[in-house]
Amino acid sequence: MSASKRVVIIGAGVGGMCAGALLAKQGCSVTVCEAIGVVGGRTRTQVIDGYQLPRGAVSFQLRGVLPTLCEEVGAKLDLRPVSEMWFWIKGGDGFVPLPAKSGIGKMLEMLMQVQGKDSTKAMAQVGLQLSMAKISQAFKSPDIIREDDDGPTFRAWLMQYTDNEDLLALFHAITSAVSALNDFEYPARHWFAHFSGAAMDARMDKYALVGDGFQGVSRALGDIITANGGEILLNTKTLAINSADGHATGVTVERAGKQFDIPADVVISNTGPMTTLSLAGEAALGKDYTQRIRKRVRPTPIVATYVVSDEPLFTPRAAFLAAGLERIVTGVPLTNICPEWAPDGKHLTSFYGTPKSCLTPMDKDDERRANVADVHALFPDFAAKGGRILDVQLRDIDDPDVVARSWPGHNVPVETPLPNLFNVGDACGPDGFIATPAAAASARNTVNKILAKLS
Ligand SMILES: Cc1cc2nc3c(=O)[nH]c(=O)nc-3n(C[C@H](O)[C@H](O)[C@H](O)COP(=O)(O)OP(=O)(O)OC[C@H]3O[C@@H](n4cnc5c(N)ncnc54)[C@H](O)[C@@H]3O)c2cc1C
């Protein structure tokens, strides 16, 4: 491909940097324009009181599209593998490690122990086993689910087979931990798409933390871009995507108080489909496309609670999944793996909760209360260990740093009505992909399409 092909990428998030590294390696002249002073987008690190908080992604999946892409371009990452997941269930005897291969089986065993503790529930064990047998069978042929629209929610689908509250809580926790959505809002057919073989990438079993924070992935990809003649312009906000005669012609940016145009043969937006709409304008993209995207995109909110302590709250080098709490479904004892993220002798743990609804704005006071209460329920010795809530970050559906710019299943195609304007990012992955694997897959898909068009 000719090096004279100039590609402008708006945004230095994971999707933008993956696309940039792949294209730079192919000989394109790549310019990344990033509005803020660092690369990484939502994966950037935020420092509070000397603690390094990952604002977004924590777990780097060790298999799948993102590690493959990083390896292909030669990005050097400081990966700290974590191969364990522990499980906690309300009413149980505390945290237990999940075996790598039969995690769900172990969770069910714990669930039965919890039920068996209560004599009134002992009989429910039989029902539970029967329900699981039915569910396992139904999992093998979930194509009974309608394809014409979103269809039933995963909870509605599950309730055909069980009304056991503990079992429902377990599936709720798994759903929220993996997709950040409530199972009673998440369409069942998207749930199955995500848990299918095609989306193996997004599974939680083999993962790592990145030593310099997940932003280290974007930094390493940035090194590939610059080593191949590209440039990354920080503090450079794109004000408009320019177009003429049905093609993108480049961007207008603002940097250090000055506005200027950067011409391009191809423009890639990593800002999310809604921002792409406003940058390019309805006149360029057409009314139909604009309306379709507005209707389709559904941002996913999340509550991230960061806790500091004098002693580790949880000692294994593992993440944990929790079932039966009000909001929190997962957490990571970050400094067990990356001790340098806290001042000497201090510890940092992050907790993630799915709000009461992912469809309507949060009741922020209630979300704060519920997430903090869950931390105390998980760690009754919180105060004795010198625990302190450092920050509760309420990323509502209108927050620029939501957990995903669109729900899985509400993903947007990478192509736009302008043949040389593309979207990349976590709203644009293939069906079943979410988070950073979705962003990386969207970049790979976009680059394949660009190379096919330009060759
Ligand atoms: C609390 C939390 C926990 C998470 N945990 C995980 C996890 O464990 N694993 C995982 O895989 N994912 C996780 N995610 C999701 C992950 O962080 C995102 O999926 C991923 O970072 C999205 O990347 P992206 O490519 O869509 O770009 P973004 O990160 O959205 O980057 C877009 C970039 O565009 C820039 N930009 C926007 N507008 C302009 C403009 N006009 N001009 C120039 N630049 C602009 C922004 O500044 C930003 O840098 C988590 C997210 C959150 C919030």
| Confidence class for position 202, pLDDT limits 50, 70, 90 | very low
Q: How many residues does the chain have?
A: 455
**Over 50: is that where the pLDDT of 387 sits?**
yes
C-beta 57 within 6 A of ligand 1 = yes
**Is the C-beta atom of 19 inside 6 A of ligand 1?**
no
Q: How far apart are the CA of 133 and the centre of ligand 1, in A?
A: 39
Look up residue 48 and give its amino acid.
I
20 lines ligand 1 (CB under 6 A): no
Percent of the chain past pLDDT 70, that is, above it, reads 87
Is the beta carbon of 276 within 6 A of some atom in ligand 1? no
Strands 319-323 and 85-89, bridge-based pairing:
parallel
Report how far residue 397's alpha carbon sits from residue 82's, in angstroms, rounded to the nearest whole number: 30
Q: Which two tokens stand for residue 137?
A: 């069978």
pLDDT at 145 over 90: no
Strand pairing partners for 48? 51
- 317: which 2 tokens? 């080098």
CA atoms of 86 and 394, how far apart (whole Å): 25
Give the angle 5-10-16 at the CA atoms, nearest 5°.
Answer: 85
- Rounded alpha-carbon distances, angstroms, from residue 393 to 14, 261, 303, 327, 442: 21, 36, 6, 14, 27
Beta bridge partners of 258: 255
Token pair belonging to 391 = 């920050």
Q: Pick the atom of ligand 1 nearest to 17's CA.
A: 25
- Express the helix, strand and coil content of the chain in percent, nearest 5 each: 40, 25, 40
State the pLDDT at residue 152. Answer: 87
pLDDT tier at 27 (50, 70, 90 boundaries)?
very high
pLDDT above 70 for 402:
yes
All structural domains of the chain, each given as residue ranges with its CATH number in brackets, are: 6-44+212-297+407-454 (3.50.50.60), 85-202 (no CATH), 300-395 (3.90.660.50)
Provide the H-helix boundaries in 7-123.
Answer: 14-25, 65-73, 103-117, 119-122
Nearest CA, atom 2, ligand 1: 56
In one-letter notation, the amino acid at residue 46 is: Q
* CA 233 to ligand 1 center in whole angstroms: 18
Question: How far is the C-alpha of 454 from the C-alpha of 435, rounded, in Å?
Answer: 29
Instruction: Let me know the angle formed at the C-alpha of 93 by 89 and 94, rounded to the nearest 5 degrees.
Output: 65
**333 CB under 6 A from ligand 1?**
no
Q: Is the dihedral of CA 341, 342, 348, 350 positive or negative?
A: negative
CA distances from 357 to 212, 298, 353, 361, 366 (A): 33, 12, 11, 8, 12
Name 7's bridge partners: 30, 266
Question: Does residue 20 have a pLDDT over 90?
Answer: yes
Closest CA to 399 of 136, 69, 42, 28: 42
Q: How far apart are CA 129 and CA 383, in angstroms?
A: 39
Q: How far is CA 305 from CA 55, 269, 314, in A?
A: 10, 30, 15
Query: Does residue 403's CB lie within 6 angstroms of at least one atom of ligand 1?
Result: yes
Residue 43 alpha carbon to ligand 1 centre in Å: 6
| Assigned token pair, 229 | 């003649």
Q: The pTM is what?
A: 0.94
| pLDDT tens digits, one per residue of 34-59 | 999 999 999 999 999 999 999 999 99
Residue 56 Cβ < 6 Å to ligand 1: yes
More confident residue, 135 or 233: 233
243 lines ligand 1 (CB under 6 A): no
User: Has residue 160 got a pLDDT over 90?
Assistant: no
DSSP string over 354-403: --S-SSS---HHHHHHHHHHHHHHH-TTTTTTT-EEEEEEEE-TT-TT-S
Tell me how far the alpha carbon of residue 434 lies from the centroid of ligand 1, in angstroms.
Answer: 12
Number of H helices, E strands in the chain: 15, 20
Please, which pLDDT band fits residue 352 given cuts at 50, 70 and 90? very high
User: Is residue 24 scored above 90 in pLDDT?
Assistant: yes
User: Given CA atoms 359, 329, 191, 83 in this order, what sign does their dihedral have?
Assistant: positive
> Is pLDDT larger for residue 99 or for residue 213?
213
pLDDT digits (tens, 9 = 90+) for 57-110: 999 989 899 999 999 999 999 999 997 889 999 988 899 888 766 556 666 766
The whole-number average pLDDT for the span 268-289 is 98
Sign for the CA dihedral angle at 372, 377, 379, 380 comes to positive
Return the minimum-mean-pLDDT range out of 173-182, 228-237, 327-336, 382-391: 173-182
| Cβ contact 19:424 at 8 Å | yes
- pLDDT for residue 346: 98
41 lines ligand 1 (CB under 6 A): yes
| pLDDT, position 1 | 47
Task: Verify whether ligand 1 is closer than 6 Å to residue 11 (CB atom).
Answer: yes
Query: Alpha-carbon distance 164 to 286, whole Å?
Result: 49
pLDDT of residue 104: 65
Residue nearest to atom 33 of ligand 1 (CA): 11
Between 280 and 115, residue with greater pLDDT: 280
